[in-house]
Structure 1
């Protein structure tokens, strides 16, 4: 099926274009690059299920490109002001890459400051509260009230109260990441298998060792789950915060060019953000597998 979509994407270029300002070689190069990725997976991967998944994903991308090419370059049915052709986007992405990389660096500085601060506070706090049954029963109802509040509602107050936009952004990201990590860790600690705790107590393990050498490893799957949700929330809030008051970053890039109705660059920014988020979550997934390899 993947090869059929590949051929359809190439055959489409035999038909005349309605847009004269399009260099279709970028489209052809994009299609060929996808096919190279597919062939490399055929050669390197031995897991048939993973091969099928990769093939299906690439086939879907081919389908999107074909529909996009038909409605823009080939028929010009889509408004060219709002919808650039698939060939224009890679060309623009290459020319805008320095600015996008600069924005990525700026965004990451905010993202990791808020995210790492949330991890550093949420994990030890949840370990202690989850371990103390009375504290857990007091705090758990509060998490059900405060946790579901959308962090984005804090943005106007954070910008108004905190001295700089950078501080406001870090605070919003911190709030967005804190609650998923805290709640998952809290519940993970409270639900640790009692047999593990009883075995540790039988060995006269002190409270510090109990928390960080027994409870923490047992809670690690819950911590990773919360950290994953927190990371996704951090990206969403980062982009939203940058759109409101930043002077740099990926969210600012999209907002800036949308204000000037430069929609080709808006689409480039959106696609690039997708690549960045995918790359970060891929690395995080690798880290998760490394930390939880004992579960396999």
Structure 2
């Protein structure tokens, strides 16, 4: 075990002991709002089937929203970043639409789209699209002009320019945008599930909070935290693979 792993393990154990000390031993916190660790652990085991169903529902929405965003934003970002005239033309629209919080589209998505699943995928798509799109453009702009000029000089085709020159060159910016997109997409997923879902991690927390069942609320928050940790760890490994040439 590396030193970093040991440090993280010690921090986790310290946090768990502090939780146990403040709830079960010293009774410093309201037991209605702050359950004991063993109580939460018991609920994690009891509700494991509900959590598995919620995870499947949440991951389905997250997968389709993020996949559609990546399939559209990265190619468009490469094209727009490469074409200066096109980039300057759409820059005002990008500056206006990009910063708008995607959560404001939720009422319209629910009203216009026929199902909650489609509405949620659309909201996640919007949230994941803009960071990826704008970072892809920035990555192409940051690419050394001499590389692009040399490729043009030797007659590289447009397809090869996009896939073999611009895409690898912009990849550091793309993965940075991807990390932002993933975090934002998960936040939007949880928010959407809290509003109109009948399953999912966000629904689980909202449903039991309405009944003041805070032990289950804490259990749901812990599961969400673990899921985010796993997703970011996997994304970091994917980033290391995509940028392995930098080593």
TM over 0.5: yes
After TM superposition, the runs of 4+ consecutive aligned structure 1 residues lying more than 6 A away are: none
The TM-score with structure 2 as length reference comes to: 0.96
Show the counterpart of 1:168: 119
Matching of residue 118 in structure 1 with residue 69 in structure 2: yes
Matching of residue 56 in structure 1 with residue 12 in structure 2: no
Instruction: Please show how residues 59-74 of structure 1 align to structure 2 within 5 Å.
Output: 59-74=10-25
**1:89-118 deviation digits (Å, cap 9, x = unpaired):** 112111111110110000011111111000
**2:26, 2:232 → 1: CA distance?**
37
Change beyond 3 A, Cα 1:72–1:92: same
Show the counterpart of 2:48: 97
- Matched pairs, number: 247
**2:165, 2:30 → 1: CA distance?**
60
The secondary structure found in structure 2 opposite 1:149 is coil
Aligned-residue offset at 1:243:
0.2
**1:23-81 deviation digits (Å, cap 9, x = unpaired):** xxxxxxxxxxxxxxxxxx2xxx3xxxxx1x33332333233222221221112231111
Larger mean Cα displacement after TM superposition, 230-239 or 133-142: 133-142
The secondary structure found in structure 2 opposite 1:148 is coil
Matching of residue 230 in structure 1 with residue 181 in structure 2: yes
Aligned-residue offset at 1:220:
1.1
Show the counterpart of 2:215: 264
**1:116-161 deviation digits (Å, cap 9, x = unpaired):** 0000111111111111110111122322221111111111111112
Aligned-residue offset at 1:212:
1.5
Supply the RMSD in Å over aligned alpha carbons: 1.2
The TM-score with structure 1 as length reference comes to: 0.81
The gaps in structure 1 that reach 5 residues or longer are 1-40, 46-50
Show the counterpart of 2:37: 86
The gaps in structure 2 that reach 5 residues or longer are none
Show the counterpart of 1:145: 96
Aligned-residue offset at 1:256:
0.7
